[in-house]
Amino acid sequence: MNCSVTGKTPIIIGWRIHFVLLISRQGKVRLTKWYSPYSQKERTKVIRELSGMILSRGPKLCNFIEWRGLKVVYKRYASLYFCMCVDTEDNELETLEIIHHYVEILDRYFGNVCELDLIFNFHKAYYILDEVLIAGELQESSKKSVARVIAAQDTLIDNAKEQANSLSNMIAQATK
């Protein structure tokens, strides 16, 4: 929920979602986003601990784990596990839907997203995540508008590329 409630954990202040993890079935990290401050050492420990717990769970069990006074909601999509750590008071089903929402947007963006897309374009996954979750809260329930923003940014980048290309062409021509 927020600050007043999370007091029991050392990792405090106001983030509703403490972190987002993407782990492959082999336990490899594909994306990490930390909203609460964790040191690099803690991060490694958290990842190791959680991937151990999550990967060993059977398919029919709940998608929730109570962990260190927080709750980790995870969902497996093909070979990737999407995990979000939230406060115990949060609505787990909702968190599950947030994950799904994110995955749907990824899917729409990459077009039939697969793990490889995320491996090689992890920075794009980050950009999209930043549009879905702001300050550790779910932001936009309209997939279209997220897609629009990302598209706008991409166009901008493409434009920049084109400009750069045309510029270098011009330079090339000029120096001929």
**Binders in 53-112 for another protein, by CB under 8 A:** 58, 60-66, 68-69, 76-80, 91-94, 96-98, 100-101, 103-104, 106-112
- Between 157 and 170, CB nearer to another protein: 157
DSSP class of 168? H
Contact 46, 52 (CB under 8 A): no
Tell me if 157 contacts another protein by CB under 8 A. yes
Measure the CA–CA gap between 82 and 79, rounded to whole angstroms.
10
Q: Does the protein bind another protein through residue 171 (CB under 8 A)? A: no
Which run of H or of E encompasses 37? none
Rounded to an integer, what distance in angstroms lies between the CA atom of residue 159 and that of residue 154?
8
Residues 76 and 54: their CA atoms lie apart, in Å, by: 10
State in angstroms the smallest separation of the CB of 154 from another protein. 5
Minimum Å gap between C-beta 49 and another protein is 9
Least Å distance, CB 11 to another protein, is 11
